[in-house]
Amino acid sequence: MRAWIGGSLVLLAACGGKEEPAPPVASTVPARYRLEQTPAAARDVIAVRAHAGEGEVVEVRGVAAEFVDGLAAFTLVDAMLPDCLHDGMTATCDTPWDYCCTDPQELAAASVTVELRDDGRVLRHDLRGFDGLDHLVPVAVRGRVERDEAGNVIVVADGLHVER
pLDDT in tens, 116-135: 999 999 999 999 999 999 99
Q: Residue 18's pLDDT is what? A: 45
What is the CATH classification number for the domain harbouring 154? 2.40.50.200
Question: Is 80 contained in some domain?
Answer: yes
Q: Rounded CA gap, 19 and 108, in Å?
A: 23
Q: Which residue has the higher pLDDT, 24 or 103?
A: 103
Question: Is 88 contained in some domain?
Answer: yes
Q: Residue 8's pLDDT is what? A: 47
Q: Residue 97's pLDDT is what? A: 75
Question: Is 133 contained in some domain?
Answer: yes
Question: Is 22 contained in some domain?
Answer: no
Neighbours of 30 (CB within 10 A): 13
Instruction: Dump pLDDT digits (tens) for 5-15.
Output: 555 455 444 44
Domain of residue 125 covers 2-17+27-162
Q: Residue 70's pLDDT is what? A: 93
Helices (H) and strands (E) in the chain, counts: 3, 7
Question: Is 36 contained in some domain?
Answer: yes
Q: Where are the beta strands (DSSP E) in 17-136?
A: 43-44, 57-67, 73-77, 111-118, 121-122
Question: Is 90 contained in some domain?
Answer: yes
Question: Is 39 contained in some domain?
Answer: yes
Amino acid symbol at 145 = V
Q: Residue 21's pLDDT is what? A: 59
CA 140 to chain centre: 10
Q: What residues contact residue 130 under an 8 Å CB cut-off, 6+ apart? A: 27, 29, 33, 34, 160, 162
Instruction: Dump pLDDT digits (tens) for 44-96.
Output: 999 999 999 999 999 999 999 999 999 999 999 999 998 887 655 555 677 77
Question: Is 82 contained in some domain?
Answer: yes
pTM of the entire structure? 0.82
Q: Rounded CA gap, 30 and 23, in Å?
A: 20
Structural domain tally of the chain? 1
